[in-house]
Structure 1
Amino acid sequence: MQEFRFEVDDHGGSTVLVDGYPQSYVSLTDPELLVFGYMQHLAAVADSLPAGPLAVTHVGGAAMTLPRYVQHTRPGSPQIVLEPDAALTEAVRHELPLPRGHRIRVRPQRGREGVAALKDSSAGAVVVDAFADSQVPADLTSAEWFADVARVLLPGGVLVMNTADEPDHRHVARVHAGLARHLPHTAAIAEVDIWKRRRFGNLVLVGSSQPLPLDAVVRSVAKGAFPSTVREGAELTRALGSGRPFTDADAVPSPPPPTPPDVWRIR
Protein backbone atom coordinates (compact mmCIF):
# COMPACT_ATOMS: atom_id res chain seq x y z
CA MET A 1 0.00 0.00 0.00
CA GLN A 2 1.23 3.47 -0.87
CA GLU A 3 2.07 5.88 1.95
CA PHE A 4 0.87 9.45 1.65
CA ARG A 5 0.83 12.69 3.60
CA PHE A 6 -0.33 16.28 3.13
CA GLU A 7 1.96 19.30 3.50
CA VAL A 8 0.40 22.79 3.69
CA ASP A 9 2.47 25.75 2.51
CA ASP A 10 2.41 29.39 3.59
CA HIS A 11 -0.05 30.23 0.81
CA GLY A 12 -2.64 27.70 1.94
CA GLY A 13 -1.93 25.22 -0.84
CA SER A 14 -1.40 21.54 -0.12
CA THR A 15 1.13 19.13 -1.56
CA VAL A 16 0.24 15.44 -1.48
CA LEU A 17 3.27 13.20 -1.18
CA VAL A 18 2.99 9.54 -2.12
CA ASP A 19 5.84 7.30 -0.99
CA GLY A 20 7.80 10.47 -0.27
CA TYR A 21 7.42 11.93 -3.77
CA PRO A 22 5.26 15.00 -4.46
CA GLN A 23 2.32 13.80 -6.57
CA SER A 24 -0.19 16.65 -6.45
CA TYR A 25 -0.55 20.26 -5.43
CA VAL A 26 -3.99 21.71 -4.73
CA SER A 27 -5.13 25.20 -3.87
CA LEU A 28 -8.79 25.13 -2.85
CA THR A 29 -9.05 28.89 -3.40
CA ASP A 30 -7.35 28.91 -6.81
CA PRO A 31 -7.84 25.72 -8.87
CA GLU A 32 -5.92 27.31 -11.74
CA LEU A 33 -2.73 27.40 -9.66
CA LEU A 34 -0.70 24.55 -11.13
CA VAL A 35 2.79 24.45 -9.65
CA PHE A 36 4.19 21.34 -11.33
CA GLY A 37 5.50 21.78 -14.86
CA TYR A 38 3.96 18.58 -16.21
CA MET A 39 0.56 19.58 -14.78
CA GLN A 40 0.78 22.88 -16.65
CA HIS A 41 1.50 20.87 -19.81
CA LEU A 42 -1.52 18.61 -19.26
CA ALA A 43 -3.70 21.67 -18.73
CA ALA A 44 -2.32 23.34 -21.87
CA VAL A 45 -3.66 20.47 -23.96
CA ALA A 46 -7.04 20.51 -22.21
CA ASP A 47 -7.31 24.26 -22.77
CA SER A 48 -6.68 23.82 -26.50
CA LEU A 49 -9.82 21.74 -27.01
CA PRO A 50 -13.15 23.30 -28.11
CA ALA A 51 -14.81 25.50 -25.48
CA GLY A 52 -17.54 24.19 -23.21
CA PRO A 53 -17.99 21.19 -20.95
CA LEU A 54 -15.58 18.36 -21.74
CA ALA A 55 -16.07 14.67 -20.99
CA VAL A 56 -12.77 13.61 -19.44
CA THR A 57 -11.59 10.26 -18.11
CA HIS A 58 -8.61 10.56 -15.78
CA VAL A 59 -6.43 7.51 -15.23
CA GLY A 60 -4.87 8.25 -11.87
CA GLY A 61 -6.37 10.68 -9.41
CA ALA A 62 -4.21 11.45 -6.34
CA ALA A 63 -5.52 14.85 -5.13
CA MET A 64 -7.44 15.38 -8.41
CA THR A 65 -5.65 18.58 -9.36
CA LEU A 66 -6.57 18.43 -13.05
CA PRO A 67 -10.22 17.37 -12.51
CA ARG A 68 -10.57 20.41 -10.22
CA TYR A 69 -8.96 22.59 -12.90
CA VAL A 70 -11.30 21.29 -15.62
CA GLN A 71 -14.33 21.79 -13.37
CA HIS A 72 -13.23 25.38 -12.71
CA THR A 73 -12.41 26.28 -16.32
CA ARG A 74 -15.20 24.24 -17.90
CA PRO A 75 -18.06 24.09 -15.37
CA GLY A 76 -20.36 21.12 -15.71
CA SER A 77 -17.79 18.85 -17.36
CA PRO A 78 -18.62 15.17 -16.73
CA GLN A 79 -15.44 13.58 -15.42
CA ILE A 80 -14.49 10.05 -14.40
CA VAL A 81 -11.42 9.49 -12.21
CA LEU A 82 -9.98 5.98 -12.06
CA GLU A 83 -8.00 5.82 -8.81
CA PRO A 84 -7.39 2.37 -7.29
CA ASP A 85 -6.18 3.68 -3.92
CA ALA A 86 -9.50 4.12 -2.11
CA ALA A 87 -7.73 5.14 1.11
CA LEU A 88 -5.98 7.99 -0.69
CA THR A 89 -9.25 9.13 -2.26
CA GLU A 90 -10.96 9.11 1.14
CA ALA A 91 -8.16 11.16 2.69
CA VAL A 92 -8.21 13.65 -0.18
CA ARG A 93 -11.97 14.08 0.11
CA HIS A 94 -11.56 14.77 3.82
CA GLU A 95 -8.53 17.08 3.64
CA LEU A 96 -9.22 18.73 0.28
CA PRO A 97 -12.98 18.58 -0.44
CA LEU A 98 -14.11 18.73 -4.06
CA PRO A 99 -15.97 21.89 -5.15
CA ARG A 100 -19.73 22.13 -4.90
CA GLY A 101 -21.69 21.26 -7.99
CA HIS A 102 -18.90 19.16 -9.49
CA ARG A 103 -19.55 16.24 -11.82
CA ILE A 104 -16.42 14.30 -10.85
CA ARG A 105 -17.02 10.61 -10.25
CA VAL A 106 -14.21 8.61 -8.66
CA ARG A 107 -14.08 4.88 -9.30
CA PRO A 108 -11.73 2.65 -7.24
CA GLN A 109 -10.32 0.91 -10.29
CA ARG A 110 -6.99 0.47 -12.01
CA GLY A 111 -6.67 2.30 -15.29
CA ARG A 112 -6.61 -0.71 -17.60
CA GLU A 113 -9.72 -2.30 -16.12
CA GLY A 114 -11.55 1.01 -15.76
CA VAL A 115 -11.00 2.06 -19.36
CA ALA A 116 -11.98 -1.39 -20.62
CA ALA A 117 -15.39 -0.90 -18.97
CA LEU A 118 -16.07 2.41 -20.73
CA LYS A 119 -18.30 2.74 -23.78
CA ASP A 120 -16.96 3.37 -27.26
CA SER A 121 -16.60 7.06 -28.19
CA SER A 122 -17.46 8.24 -24.69
CA ALA A 123 -14.60 10.63 -23.83
CA GLY A 124 -13.41 13.88 -25.34
CA ALA A 125 -10.11 13.42 -23.53
CA VAL A 126 -8.34 10.66 -21.64
CA VAL A 127 -5.69 11.96 -19.24
CA VAL A 128 -3.17 9.41 -17.97
CA ASP A 129 -1.23 10.50 -14.89
CA ALA A 130 -0.85 7.23 -13.05
CA PHE A 131 2.12 6.05 -11.04
CA ALA A 132 2.58 2.99 -8.82
CA ASP A 133 5.74 2.82 -6.72
CA SER A 134 6.64 6.11 -8.47
CA GLN A 135 6.62 4.45 -11.92
CA VAL A 136 4.09 4.36 -14.76
CA PRO A 137 2.61 0.83 -14.61
CA ALA A 138 3.67 -1.48 -17.42
CA ASP A 139 0.10 -2.17 -18.52
CA LEU A 140 -0.35 1.53 -19.35
CA THR A 141 2.52 1.52 -21.85
CA SER A 142 1.56 -1.18 -24.37
CA ALA A 143 0.12 -0.89 -27.87
CA GLU A 144 -2.92 -2.88 -26.72
CA TRP A 145 -3.58 -0.28 -24.04
CA PHE A 146 -3.47 2.54 -26.56
CA ALA A 147 -5.84 0.63 -28.84
CA ASP A 148 -8.41 0.55 -26.03
CA VAL A 149 -7.94 4.26 -25.32
CA ALA A 150 -8.49 4.99 -29.02
CA ARG A 151 -11.74 3.02 -28.83
CA VAL A 152 -13.00 5.16 -25.94
CA LEU A 153 -12.15 8.52 -27.49
CA LEU A 154 -14.64 10.54 -29.50
CA PRO A 155 -13.56 11.49 -33.05
CA GLY A 156 -10.97 14.21 -32.56
CA GLY A 157 -10.60 13.36 -28.89
CA VAL A 158 -7.14 13.37 -27.34
CA LEU A 159 -5.03 11.19 -25.11
CA VAL A 160 -2.71 13.17 -22.82
CA MET A 161 -0.20 11.08 -20.89
CA ASN A 162 2.34 12.04 -18.26
CA THR A 163 5.32 9.72 -18.27
CA ALA A 164 8.91 9.87 -17.05
CA ASP A 165 12.22 8.62 -18.33
CA GLU A 166 15.98 8.67 -18.08
CA PRO A 167 17.92 11.12 -20.28
CA ASP A 168 18.27 8.51 -23.05
CA HIS A 169 14.47 8.53 -23.66
CA ARG A 170 14.55 4.84 -24.59
CA HIS A 171 11.47 3.93 -22.61
CA VAL A 172 9.34 6.86 -23.74
CA ALA A 173 10.38 6.23 -27.36
CA ARG A 174 8.75 2.79 -27.16
CA VAL A 175 5.67 4.20 -25.42
CA HIS A 176 5.33 6.82 -28.14
CA ALA A 177 5.63 4.16 -30.85
CA GLY A 178 2.68 2.27 -29.37
CA LEU A 179 0.66 5.46 -29.05
CA ALA A 180 1.36 6.50 -32.66
CA ARG A 181 0.22 3.11 -33.94
CA HIS A 182 -3.37 3.81 -32.84
CA LEU A 183 -3.48 7.62 -32.53
CA PRO A 184 -1.17 8.73 -35.34
CA HIS A 185 -1.26 12.49 -34.76
CA THR A 186 1.17 12.89 -31.89
CA ALA A 187 3.17 15.50 -30.00
CA ALA A 188 5.15 15.72 -26.79
CA ILE A 189 5.82 18.48 -24.27
CA ALA A 190 8.79 18.66 -21.93
CA GLU A 191 11.06 21.14 -20.23
CA VAL A 192 14.09 22.22 -22.24
CA ASP A 193 16.60 20.39 -20.01
CA ILE A 194 14.74 17.15 -20.57
CA TRP A 195 14.74 17.55 -24.35
CA LYS A 196 18.48 18.19 -24.10
CA ARG A 197 18.83 14.86 -22.26
CA ARG A 198 20.42 16.49 -19.24
CA ARG A 199 18.32 14.83 -16.55
CA PHE A 200 15.60 12.40 -15.59
CA GLY A 201 12.15 13.95 -15.88
CA ASN A 202 8.59 14.10 -17.12
CA LEU A 203 7.41 14.16 -20.71
CA VAL A 204 3.76 14.64 -21.66
CA LEU A 205 2.67 12.66 -24.73
CA VAL A 206 -0.36 13.69 -26.78
CA GLY A 207 -2.17 11.62 -29.38
CA SER A 208 -5.30 11.84 -31.52
CA SER A 209 -6.87 10.30 -34.60
CA GLN A 210 -7.10 13.80 -36.09
CA PRO A 211 -4.67 16.74 -36.35
CA LEU A 212 -3.93 18.35 -32.99
CA PRO A 213 -4.58 22.04 -32.18
CA LEU A 214 -0.89 22.57 -31.59
CA ASP A 215 -0.80 26.32 -32.17
CA ALA A 216 -2.97 26.80 -29.10
CA VAL A 217 -0.88 24.32 -27.11
CA VAL A 218 2.36 26.06 -28.06
CA ARG A 219 0.99 29.45 -27.00
CA SER A 220 -0.15 28.10 -23.66
CA VAL A 221 3.11 26.26 -22.96
CA ALA A 222 5.08 29.42 -23.79
CA LYS A 223 3.32 31.21 -20.93
CA GLY A 224 4.36 28.60 -18.37
CA ALA A 225 6.85 29.18 -15.58
CA PHE A 226 9.18 26.43 -16.80
CA PRO A 227 10.93 26.86 -20.19
CA SER A 228 9.38 24.09 -22.26
CA THR A 229 9.02 22.99 -25.87
CA VAL A 230 6.31 21.22 -27.89
CA ARG A 231 7.56 18.81 -30.55
CA GLU A 232 5.69 16.86 -33.23
CA GLY A 233 6.22 14.86 -36.39
CA ALA A 234 9.75 14.23 -37.64
CA GLU A 235 11.20 16.57 -35.01
CA LEU A 236 9.62 14.51 -32.27
CA THR A 237 10.88 11.25 -33.75
CA ARG A 238 14.41 12.65 -33.90
CA ALA A 239 14.17 13.92 -30.33
CA LEU A 240 13.01 10.60 -28.89
CA GLY A 241 14.75 8.21 -31.25
CA SER A 242 13.18 5.15 -32.79
CA GLY A 243 11.54 2.50 -30.70
CA ARG A 244 9.58 -0.73 -31.05
CA PRO A 245 6.12 -0.53 -29.43
CA PHE A 246 5.69 -2.33 -26.15
CA THR A 247 3.13 -5.14 -26.15
CA ASP A 248 1.32 -6.70 -23.22
CA ALA A 249 3.88 -9.51 -23.42
CA ASP A 250 7.00 -7.37 -22.97
CA ALA A 251 5.86 -4.04 -21.44
CA VAL A 252 7.81 -2.74 -18.45
CA PRO A 253 7.18 0.16 -16.05
CA SER A 254 8.83 3.52 -16.60
CA PRO A 255 12.28 3.87 -14.96
CA PRO A 256 12.25 4.65 -11.24
CA PRO A 257 12.94 8.26 -10.23
CA PRO A 258 16.12 9.32 -8.44
CA THR A 259 16.57 8.48 -4.78
CA PRO A 260 16.29 10.43 -2.53
CA PRO A 261 13.30 12.28 -4.07
CA ASP A 262 14.98 15.72 -4.07
CA VAL A 263 17.98 14.57 -6.14
CA TRP A 264 17.94 14.58 -9.97
CA ARG A 265 20.13 12.35 -12.10
CA ILE A 266 22.08 14.70 -14.33
CA ARG A 267 24.15 13.82 -17.39
Structure 2
Amino acid sequence: MKLLYFSAAFLSSLLIFSGCSDSTSTDEKLTQAVTNARQNNWTEVKKISAEVSESNPGTIAPMLLTALAYEKEGDMAKAIDLANQCVKNSPQDFTANYTLGRLYSMDIKRHTEAFSILEKALKLSPGDTNTLILLCNLGVQRNEQATGKYLDQLLAQKKLSRIETGKIHYQKALFLANNDNISDACSSMIQAAACSGKNPELILQAARFIDNSGVNRRNAKLLYNSFIQFYKKQNDCDPAKIAEAEARMAKL
Protein backbone atom coordinates (compact mmCIF):
# COMPACT_ATOMS: atom_id res chain seq x y z
CA MET A 1 0.00 0.00 0.00
CA LYS A 2 2.04 2.89 -1.31
CA LEU A 3 1.72 6.64 -1.38
CA LEU A 4 3.40 8.89 -3.82
CA TYR A 5 3.21 12.61 -4.26
CA PHE A 6 5.21 13.50 -7.28
CA SER A 7 4.38 15.71 -10.23
CA ALA A 8 3.01 18.80 -8.51
CA ALA A 9 5.84 19.05 -5.99
CA PHE A 10 8.49 18.19 -8.57
CA LEU A 11 7.29 20.80 -11.03
CA SER A 12 6.87 23.41 -8.33
CA SER A 13 10.46 22.86 -7.21
CA LEU A 14 11.65 23.36 -10.77
CA LEU A 15 9.85 26.67 -10.94
CA ILE A 16 12.18 27.85 -8.18
CA PHE A 17 14.87 27.89 -10.83
CA SER A 18 12.90 30.57 -12.66
CA GLY A 19 13.93 34.01 -11.53
CA CYS A 20 17.41 32.78 -10.62
CA SER A 21 19.01 33.14 -14.02
CA ASP A 22 20.40 36.23 -15.68
CA SER A 23 18.00 35.90 -18.59
CA THR A 24 14.32 36.74 -18.57
CA SER A 25 13.84 34.67 -21.72
CA THR A 26 15.38 31.64 -19.98
CA ASP A 27 13.03 32.03 -17.03
CA GLU A 28 10.07 32.36 -19.37
CA LYS A 29 11.08 29.26 -21.30
CA LEU A 30 11.48 27.23 -18.10
CA THR A 31 8.03 28.36 -17.01
CA GLN A 32 6.65 27.36 -20.42
CA ALA A 33 8.29 23.95 -20.13
CA VAL A 34 6.79 23.41 -16.67
CA THR A 35 3.37 24.47 -17.97
CA ASN A 36 3.63 21.97 -20.81
CA ALA A 37 4.72 19.28 -18.37
CA ARG A 38 1.59 19.89 -16.31
CA GLN A 39 -0.38 19.42 -19.52
CA ASN A 40 1.51 16.19 -20.35
CA ASN A 41 2.87 17.73 -23.55
CA TRP A 42 6.20 15.95 -23.35
CA THR A 43 7.36 16.61 -26.90
CA GLU A 44 7.11 20.34 -26.28
CA VAL A 45 8.81 19.94 -22.89
CA LYS A 46 11.82 18.32 -24.54
CA LYS A 47 11.91 20.95 -27.28
CA ILE A 48 11.84 23.91 -24.90
CA SER A 49 14.27 22.26 -22.47
CA ALA A 50 16.72 21.62 -25.31
CA GLU A 51 16.60 25.32 -26.22
CA VAL A 52 17.32 26.31 -22.63
CA SER A 53 20.16 23.80 -22.33
CA GLU A 54 21.72 25.06 -25.55
CA SER A 55 21.88 28.62 -24.26
CA ASN A 56 22.65 27.59 -20.66
CA PRO A 57 24.94 24.53 -20.75
CA GLY A 58 25.03 22.57 -17.51
CA THR A 59 21.84 24.07 -16.09
CA ILE A 60 20.02 21.20 -14.43
CA ALA A 61 16.40 22.45 -14.53
CA PRO A 62 15.91 21.73 -18.26
CA MET A 63 17.79 18.45 -17.86
CA LEU A 64 15.44 17.36 -15.07
CA LEU A 65 12.41 18.33 -17.13
CA THR A 66 13.78 16.30 -20.03
CA ALA A 67 14.37 13.37 -17.68
CA LEU A 68 10.75 13.62 -16.59
CA ALA A 69 9.63 13.67 -20.22
CA TYR A 70 11.66 10.54 -21.01
CA GLU A 71 10.22 8.82 -17.95
CA LYS A 72 6.67 9.62 -19.01
CA GLU A 73 7.45 8.32 -22.50
CA GLY A 74 8.75 5.08 -21.01
CA ASP A 75 12.45 5.58 -21.74
CA MET A 76 13.75 5.00 -18.21
CA ALA A 77 17.36 4.53 -19.32
CA LYS A 78 17.55 8.05 -20.75
CA ALA A 79 15.66 9.47 -17.77
CA ILE A 80 18.09 7.91 -15.30
CA ASP A 81 21.12 8.94 -17.36
CA LEU A 82 20.01 12.57 -17.31
CA ALA A 83 19.19 12.48 -13.60
CA ASN A 84 22.65 11.06 -12.92
CA GLN A 85 24.22 13.88 -14.93
CA CYS A 86 22.26 16.39 -12.86
CA VAL A 87 23.54 14.92 -9.59
CA LYS A 88 27.10 14.96 -10.93
CA ASN A 89 26.72 18.59 -12.03
CA SER A 90 25.01 19.69 -8.80
CA PRO A 91 25.66 17.07 -6.09
CA GLN A 92 24.06 19.21 -3.37
CA ASP A 93 20.88 19.98 -5.31
CA PHE A 94 17.80 18.52 -3.63
CA THR A 95 15.63 18.15 -6.74
CA ALA A 96 18.37 16.35 -8.66
CA ASN A 97 18.95 13.85 -5.85
CA TYR A 98 15.22 13.38 -5.26
CA THR A 99 14.64 12.73 -8.96
CA LEU A 100 17.43 10.18 -9.23
CA GLY A 101 16.31 8.43 -6.04
CA ARG A 102 12.71 8.34 -7.22
CA LEU A 103 13.68 6.88 -10.59
CA TYR A 104 15.89 4.26 -8.93
CA SER A 105 13.01 3.37 -6.60
CA MET A 106 11.07 2.07 -9.61
CA ASP A 107 13.67 -0.65 -10.21
CA ILE A 108 13.75 -3.33 -7.52
CA LYS A 109 17.39 -4.04 -8.37
CA ARG A 110 18.33 -0.48 -7.44
CA HIS A 111 16.38 -0.09 -4.21
CA THR A 112 19.57 0.02 -2.13
CA GLU A 113 20.88 2.93 -4.21
CA ALA A 114 17.47 4.59 -4.17
CA PHE A 115 17.23 4.51 -0.38
CA SER A 116 20.72 5.95 0.04
CA ILE A 117 20.15 8.76 -2.46
CA LEU A 118 16.77 9.63 -0.98
CA GLU A 119 18.31 9.83 2.49
CA LYS A 120 20.79 12.32 1.04
CA ALA A 121 17.89 14.25 -0.53
CA LEU A 122 16.14 14.39 2.84
CA LYS A 123 19.26 15.88 4.44
CA LEU A 124 19.25 18.54 1.71
CA SER A 125 15.58 19.31 2.32
CA PRO A 126 14.73 18.14 5.86
CA GLY A 127 11.15 17.08 6.34
CA ASP A 128 10.27 17.01 2.64
CA THR A 129 7.00 15.09 2.49
CA ASN A 130 7.57 13.50 -0.92
CA THR A 131 11.01 12.21 0.04
CA LEU A 132 9.69 10.82 3.32
CA ILE A 133 6.92 8.99 1.47
CA LEU A 134 9.40 7.35 -0.88
CA LEU A 135 11.71 6.43 1.99
CA CYS A 136 8.78 4.87 3.86
CA ASN A 137 7.66 2.92 0.78
CA LEU A 138 11.15 1.54 0.26
CA GLY A 139 11.99 1.17 3.93
CA VAL A 140 8.97 -0.97 4.76
CA GLN A 141 9.73 -3.26 1.81
CA ARG A 142 13.38 -3.59 2.77
CA ASN A 143 12.82 -3.42 6.55
CA GLU A 144 15.40 -0.65 6.85
CA GLN A 145 15.81 0.22 10.53
CA ALA A 146 15.67 3.97 9.85
CA THR A 147 12.15 3.54 8.48
CA GLY A 148 10.52 3.89 11.89
CA LYS A 149 11.73 7.46 12.33
CA TYR A 150 10.68 8.38 8.79
CA LEU A 151 7.18 7.03 9.39
CA ASP A 152 6.95 9.00 12.62
CA GLN A 153 8.20 12.18 10.92
CA LEU A 154 5.59 11.79 8.21
CA LEU A 155 2.78 11.29 10.69
CA ALA A 156 3.97 14.21 12.84
CA GLN A 157 3.72 16.60 9.89
CA LYS A 158 -0.05 16.12 9.68
CA LYS A 159 0.07 17.18 6.04
CA LEU A 160 -1.64 14.13 4.58
CA SER A 161 -5.34 13.56 4.14
CA ARG A 162 -7.12 11.31 6.62
CA ILE A 163 -7.13 8.35 4.23
CA GLU A 164 -3.46 8.85 3.35
CA THR A 165 -2.62 9.06 7.04
CA GLY A 166 -4.35 5.72 7.44
CA LYS A 167 -2.07 4.23 4.82
CA ILE A 168 0.98 5.48 6.72
CA HIS A 169 -0.32 3.90 9.92
CA TYR A 170 -0.78 0.70 7.90
CA GLN A 171 2.82 0.85 6.72
CA LYS A 172 3.97 1.48 10.27
CA ALA A 173 2.04 -1.58 11.44
CA LEU A 174 3.79 -3.74 8.84
CA PHE A 175 7.18 -2.33 9.82
CA LEU A 176 6.55 -2.96 13.52
CA ALA A 177 5.33 -6.48 12.82
CA ASN A 178 8.43 -7.21 10.75
CA ASN A 179 10.44 -6.24 13.82
CA ASP A 180 8.39 -8.47 16.16
CA ASN A 181 6.58 -5.60 17.87
CA ILE A 182 3.15 -7.15 17.40
CA SER A 183 1.30 -5.25 20.12
CA ASP A 184 2.28 -1.83 18.78
CA ALA A 185 1.70 -3.08 15.24
CA CYS A 186 -1.90 -3.89 16.14
CA SER A 187 -2.33 -0.44 17.66
CA SER A 188 -1.07 1.14 14.44
CA MET A 189 -3.41 -1.06 12.43
CA ILE A 190 -6.38 0.12 14.52
CA GLN A 191 -5.34 3.71 13.80
CA ALA A 192 -5.12 2.83 10.11
CA ALA A 193 -8.68 1.52 10.18
CA ALA A 194 -9.88 4.59 12.07
CA CYS A 195 -8.52 6.80 9.29
CA SER A 196 -9.83 4.59 6.49
CA GLY A 197 -12.72 6.85 5.50
CA LYS A 198 -14.31 5.31 2.44
CA ASN A 199 -11.68 2.60 2.07
CA PRO A 200 -13.31 -0.63 3.33
CA GLU A 201 -10.39 -2.68 2.00
CA LEU A 202 -8.13 -1.07 4.60
CA ILE A 203 -10.62 -1.93 7.35
CA LEU A 204 -10.69 -5.56 6.18
CA GLN A 205 -6.90 -5.77 6.01
CA ALA A 206 -6.65 -4.32 9.51
CA ALA A 207 -9.19 -6.85 10.79
CA ARG A 208 -7.31 -9.76 9.21
CA PHE A 209 -4.01 -8.51 10.60
CA ILE A 210 -5.26 -8.23 14.19
CA ASP A 211 -7.17 -11.50 13.89
CA ASN A 212 -4.07 -13.36 12.71
CA SER A 213 -1.87 -11.72 15.34
CA GLY A 214 -3.92 -13.15 18.18
CA VAL A 215 -3.57 -9.87 20.13
CA ASN A 216 -6.86 -8.50 21.50
CA ARG A 217 -8.93 -10.19 18.82
CA ARG A 218 -12.04 -8.42 20.07
CA ASN A 219 -10.81 -5.48 18.02
CA ALA A 220 -10.71 -7.72 14.97
CA LYS A 221 -14.35 -8.67 15.53
CA LEU A 222 -15.34 -5.01 15.74
CA LEU A 223 -13.44 -4.25 12.54
CA TYR A 224 -14.99 -7.17 10.66
CA ASN A 225 -18.42 -5.92 11.66
CA SER A 226 -17.53 -2.37 10.62
CA PHE A 227 -16.31 -3.64 7.27
CA ILE A 228 -19.47 -5.66 6.64
CA GLN A 229 -21.82 -2.82 7.56
CA PHE A 230 -20.00 -0.34 5.37
CA TYR A 231 -19.02 -2.57 2.46
CA LYS A 232 -22.39 -4.17 1.80
CA LYS A 233 -23.86 -0.74 1.06
CA GLN A 234 -21.56 -0.34 -1.93
CA ASN A 235 -22.91 -1.17 -5.37
CA ASP A 236 -19.76 -3.02 -6.44
CA CYS A 237 -19.25 -5.03 -3.25
CA ASP A 238 -17.79 -8.52 -3.51
CA PRO A 239 -20.07 -11.05 -1.73
CA ALA A 240 -17.07 -13.33 -1.19
CA LYS A 241 -15.34 -10.73 0.98
CA ILE A 242 -18.46 -10.23 3.06
CA ALA A 243 -18.75 -14.00 3.49
CA GLU A 244 -15.09 -14.17 4.54
CA ALA A 245 -15.54 -11.42 7.12
CA GLU A 246 -18.70 -13.04 8.49
CA ALA A 247 -17.00 -16.44 8.75
CA ARG A 248 -13.94 -14.99 10.48
CA MET A 249 -16.09 -12.96 12.86
CA ALA A 250 -18.13 -16.02 13.79
CA LYS A 251 -14.97 -17.74 15.05
CA LEU A 252 -14.07 -14.91 17.42
Q: Please, what TM-score do these two structures have when normalized by structure 2?
A: 0.32
State the structure with bigger RCO (CA 8 A, min sep 6), 1 or 2: 1
Select the structure that is richer in strand. 1
Select the structure that is richer in helix. 2
